[in-house]
Amino acid sequence: MLSRMCIAQNRCFFSSVASASLVLAVVIAFTATNKIVVGQEADPSNRPRTQELLPETTVAFIQIDDFRDMVGKLQETSFGKMTQDEAIAPLIDGLWDEARLAYSEVESEVGITLEDIRSLPSGEMTFAIIAPRRQSPEYMLVIELDTESGAGERILERGREVIATETGEPISSQESEDGIEYETFNAAGKNFKFFEKDGLMVGCSSEEELDAFVDRWMEREVEKVRPLTSNRKFVTIMNRCLGNNELEPEARFFIDPIGLTRSATRGNFAAQAAINFLPIIGLDGLLGVGGSMLLSEDDFESVVHGHILLSNPRKGILEMLALKPTDYQPEPWLPADTATYLTTSWDVDKMLAELSKMVDLYQGDEGLVDTWIEGNINERIKMDLKEDVLAHLSGRVTYAEWISPPLALNSQVQIFAMELSDAEAFEKSFESIIQNVIGGNDDDEEDGGGNDENEEERGEWMETADYKGFKTWTVSQSRMDNQRDRRNQRRQERRQAQNPDRDIIDIDVDPEAEEMRMEMRPKPAMAIVGNYLLMSFSPRSMDFIRYAIETHEGEESSMANDENFVAVQRKMTRLLRSDMPCAMTYQNPEHAFRMLFELAGSEQTQSFISGQIEDNPVLAGIQSRFSENPLPDFDEMKGYFQPTGGFVVSDDTGYHFLAFSMKSENEK
């Protein structure tokens, strides 16, 4: 009985979560693609910026500068215009209606309409975590409200009722000498205090921090604690994340990870001890992380800045993972229709040297890493890891995604590549490793590998083949069949253990489900193409490997010659000026979204959804909307998906990341 009650509660919980998620997702999409009637809101020019009112002890800061202005700009982006396209707008409207229906079931309990939620934020939205010296963290929320529609006051009033019901005590109020009415309530062992002034609602879990916020607003001096704008970490990061012409970003964030962790773990001896360990591994040099987002800047649809502030000089992990600036050009095996591309490089020798220093410093001895490599790796692979393997790596690593035709649930293929300084020597070492390690072991998930099972029974672990003169390595089909048989055997043994009175228990296997599961299983494949080792662990790994070989041989168009990539590369060159990137990224969302559009209407997807909607009215409603207004042909929509690019540069302050999406020709 108890278990059935728990299951029923879980179903109810997940149904509520699904409903809430649908409402949230559609509210965001609908808000970003429909005009909002703007009421009267606070004038930010009448008060200091929030970062001038927060204390310098703020360790986390997330801010949307003007919510409605940002929504207006989002409406002008390619995505916003796509959702307003007559080919897809009826579907968006239908999903919005479905969200209304889902929310109507809880609206009477919540006491707030969906329209009130949509119109609540009218300007700034800021959330901050403050770490007062030698105290636990405090939390502050700042929201500009629409004072004309009354939505903000209705939500506040409903909040007061809920708080009074939950705490059993009414919210107390008191007017200050400044004429501000403070409201206070107790929850979770804290006194929460908030006020509304000039259309701005400010709440905080600390009365002291809220009073200091008001004092700065009233231009009164706050002793001992300066404002956030005096925090060197915050200022350095935010200055690096300004747009051209020093435009104010639509959104920004800042985190002091060590300060936040110290405050959040106060009183936890083990956690504090771990923090004190950070200098040994060099992570005490991670001073801060922040970023910003700008919309419609120059000929960019969006620009995102990110900055990791590091101490100088760097040591430990921060030095070990130092990225190398260079002139990154796409590899010749990358096909033109690559969906995602990321490349960077490390100094392999420096990585190993810094790792050795950290281990030796922690253990108080020398040469421990070399000793461990000799005893645990070199003996196993029967060669010298440093001389025969690592010495042949240049340090450059690449990650790419490609959509393999025909489109199916397993079409997305990921590939990892390492550049080789001596491909021929590395191949010899690689073959030896396969023979000595992989070829002689059976790394079964249950027996741990290394048993004496007959090789013919378990099948060869790896198969080699030749494709257009390039050697490839794949996990053998016999090996995969063996793993499937063992899995079924273990399943039968478990059922037998649960039903000891039955001699034979048949395993019910849905052929379609089993086929789909097998198609989704990873099928690792590798090849050395040119001076790169390519590795993929996707269900259709060999599709990408073969396609990469064909591209390398000039049979398929390469990404280096793709007009979309060339356009993005020109923008990168302009933004970089004379700097050299230490990493770069490129995405063409057209390829990924084409797969999503086509899969959404496929029989396989519809069959899967049909099997899930029996007890899920929310999912049933969504399916009915898609049936009434199916997605249009992707070729009608592909113009809305513009390529994006990004790069990382290194300077004395740390690493700076810049990503951008370009405007389409009809937006310029």
Q: Which of 346, 348, 373 shows the shortest CA–CA distance to 359?
A: 373
Element (H, E) at 181: strand 181-187
Question: What are 536's strand-pairing partners?
Answer: 525
Cβ pair 473, 525 in contact under 8 A: yes
Average pLDDT, the chain: 82
The answer to which of 139-143, 170-174, 331-335, 615-619 has the lowest mean pLDDT is 615-619
- Has residue 9 got a pLDDT over 70? no
Element (H, E) at 464: strand 462-467
Omega cis (within 30) before 313: yes
- State the average pLDDT over residues 200-221: 93
pLDDT at 452: 43
- State the average pLDDT over residues 97-101: 82
Find the radius of gyration of the CA atoms of the chain: 29
CA separation, residue 661 to residues 250, 300, 302, 310, 645 (Å): 15, 6, 5, 27, 7
For residues 176 and 488, which has the higher predicted lDDT (pLDDT)? 176
Q: How many CB atoms lie within 10 A of CB 86?
A: 7
pLDDT at 611: 67
* Nearest-5° Cα angle at 646, 642 to 648: 175
Question: What are 227's strand-pairing partners?
Answer: 55
- Has residue 205 got a pLDDT over 80? yes
Cβ pair 144, 41 in contact under 8 A: yes
- State the average pLDDT over residues 340-348: 95
- Has residue 560 got a pLDDT over 90? yes
Q: What is the pLDDT of residues 351-373, one digit of tens each?
A: 888 888 888 887 888 888 889 99
Cβ pair 459, 507 in contact under 8 A: no
The answer for 408, left when phi > 0, alpha when psi is -120 to 50, beta otherwise, is beta
Task: Please state, in angstroms and rounded to a whole number, the distance separating the CA atoms of residues 609 and 149.
Answer: 40
pLDDT band at 453 (very low <50, low <70, confident <90, very high): very low
DSSP structure class, residue 55: B
pLDDT at 460: 66
- State the average pLDDT over residues 13-36: 37
Question: Three-class SS of residue 78?
Answer: helix
Structure tokens at 282: 């060099």
Q: How many CB atoms lie within 10 A of CB 565?
A: 21
pLDDT band at 503 (very low <50, low <70, confident <90, very high): low
Structure tokens at 429: 């070492």
Q: What is the pLDDT of residues 410-440, one digit of tens each?
A: 899 999 999 999 999 999 999 888 877 765 4
Tell me the three-class secondary structure of 542-594, residue by residue. HHHHHHHHHHHCCCCCEHHHCHHHHHHHHHHHHHHCCCCCCEEEEECHHHHHH
Element (H, E) at 180: none
Q: How many CA atoms lie within 13 A of 200 on its CB side?
A: 23
Domain regions of the chain by residue span: 2-230, 231-330+559-588+642-668, 332-445+455-475+521-557, 589-640
Q: How many CB atoms lie within 10 A of CB 39?
A: 17
- Has residue 297 got a pLDDT over 80? no
Task: Please state, in angstroms and rounded to a whole number, the distance separating the CA atoms of residues 135 and 345.
Answer: 41
Cβ pair 400, 586 in contact under 8 A: no
The answer to which of 37-41, 190-194, 423-427 has the lowest mean pLDDT is 37-41
The answer to which of 103-112, 289-298, 544-553 has the lowest mean pLDDT is 103-112
- DSSP letters of 598-666? HHHTSHHHHHHHHTT-TT-HHHHHHHHHHHHSPPPPHHHHGGG---EEEEEEEETTEEEEEEEEEPPGG
Q: Which of 363, 236, 345, 355 shows the shortest CA–CA distance to 287?
A: 236
Cβ pair 389, 432 in contact under 8 A: no
Q: Which of 115, 88, 90, 91 shows the shortest CA–CA distance to 23?
A: 115
Structure tokens at 3: 């278990």
Q: What is the pLDDT of residues 621-661, one digit of tens each?
A: 877 888 888 888 888 888 899 899 999 999 999 999 999 99
- What burial letters (b/e) apply to 511-521, b meaning 16+ CB within 10 Å? eeeeebeeeee
Cβ pair 249, 65 in contact under 8 A: yes
Task: Please state, in angstroms and rounded to a whole number, the distance separating the CA atoms of residues 307 and 654.
Answer: 7
Task: Please state, in angstroms and rounded to a whole number, the distance separating the CA atoms of residues 88 and 636.
Answer: 10
pLDDT at 562: 95
Q: How many CB atoms lie within 10 A of CB 426?
A: 21
The answer to which of 65-69, 351-355, 567-571, 602-606 has the lowest mean pLDDT is 602-606
Q: Counting every residue, how long is the chain?
A: 668
**Highest mean pLDDT, choosing among 143-157, 189-203, 602-616:** 189-203
Q: Which of 65, 64, 66, 61 shows the shortest CA–CA distance to 231?
A: 61
Compute the CA torsion angle 267, 268, 273, 279 (nearest 10 deg).
-70
- Contacts of 448 by beta carbon, 8 Å cutoff, 6+ apart: none
pLDDT at 476: 76
Q: Which of 195, 181, 231 shows the shortest CA–CA distance to 58?
A: 231
pLDDT at 397: 96
Give the pairing of strands 200-204 and 190-197. antiparallel
pLDDT band at 508 (very low <50, low <70, confident <90, very high): low
- State the average pLDDT over residues 591-596: 89
In 49-198, beta strands by DSSP E = 58-64, 121-130, 138-145, 172-175, 181-187, 190-197
Terminal-to-terminal C-alpha distance of the chain = 65
Question: Three-class SS of residue 372?
Answer: helix
